[in-house]
Copies of this chain bind each other. A is one copy, B any other.
Amino acid sequence: MPQPSQHPRFSPIGMFDSGVGGLTVMQQIMKHLPHEQIIYFGDTARLPYGEKSGETIARYAIENTIFLMDKNIKLLVVACNTASAHSMSKLRQLFNVPMVDVIEAGVHQAVLTTKNQRIAVLGTKGTIQSAVYENEIRKHLPESVVISVACPLFTPLVEENFAAHPAAKLIVKEYLASLRKAQADTVILGCTHFPLLAPLIQEELPHVILVDPAVSCAAKVASLLSSSQLEANASMGFRNHSFYVSDDPHKFSVLATNFLGGALPSVEKVSAWK
């Protein structure tokens, strides 16, 4: 933890997700900003967020943010599409900290990518029902056509290591059937688990460009820190990332290794809402 006397650029970046999915975003941030210290909170006692109501998700997001604010973070990354969809305006209203969310980042990248202004969005039910991707895309490209597809089984398939199983292929085919004639040239992977199914999705839709919001999310974090003169640098030395979860730390560690491609330091169990 930073000392009170230190410059805020020593403070950590805080990020939360419902579980391990946000680690795909963390990985991108670590790659782009190797000197930053990150505090990650996975709300594993209440996951998944994808099928729950907007009201409940917003409450969870507020509680998670209070937990991270208490750790003196200099920037908040909402690394969960469903939480981004339902809580950003509330979080921005309540908390005095710069924020980056995966949806804004994904939309930015998709708008730069599309040539024919036909963009598809794959997400959880919660994200799709919120229509937030659609609304955000239309702000930049009012004439665009946005095709949204809820893919609720993608997350459990990834969590259960079925991403390479023939059943996953059938389920991908089923969910994407409506997209085969939609002529979208750009497909947003609107859930942090979905990049792990990218090979199957690309096989089913060979002519589209897949957009992983994690990549532009990391770029946005970098530019925001830089413009606020809050970025860490090499002279600060190596500082450990911290991982907190609201349920079993061991299970998180095991799953996280698949996502981050390496062993985690310790994971601590906490309750964000007590």
Contact = CB atoms under 8 A, between A and B. Distances in A.
Interface stretch (A74-82, A159-167, A211-219): A159-167
A203 interface: no
Interface in A78-135: none
A160 B152 contact: yes
Nearest to A60: B45
The 10 A-B pairs at the shortest CB distance, nearest first, are namely A53-B248, A167-B170, A156-B156, A167-B167, A167-B171, A56-B247, A45-B56, A52-B247, A53-B247, A152-B160
A52 B174 CA distance: 29
A251 interface: yes
A264 interface: no
Contacts of A166: 170
A30 interface: no
Interface residues of A, number: 25
A160 B153 contact: yes
Interface string A53-70: 100100000000000000
A253 interface: no
A45 B60 CA distance: 10
Contacts of A51: 159, 251
Given A165-B170, A165-B171, 9 more contacts: A44-B52, A46-B46, A51-B159, A52-B248, A56-B246, A152-B156, A153-B156, A153-B160, A153-B162
Contacts of A247: 52-53, 56
Interface in A138-156: 152-153, 156
Given A52-B45, A53-B248, A157 B153 contact: yes
Contacts of A156: 152-153, 156
Contacts of A159: 51, 152
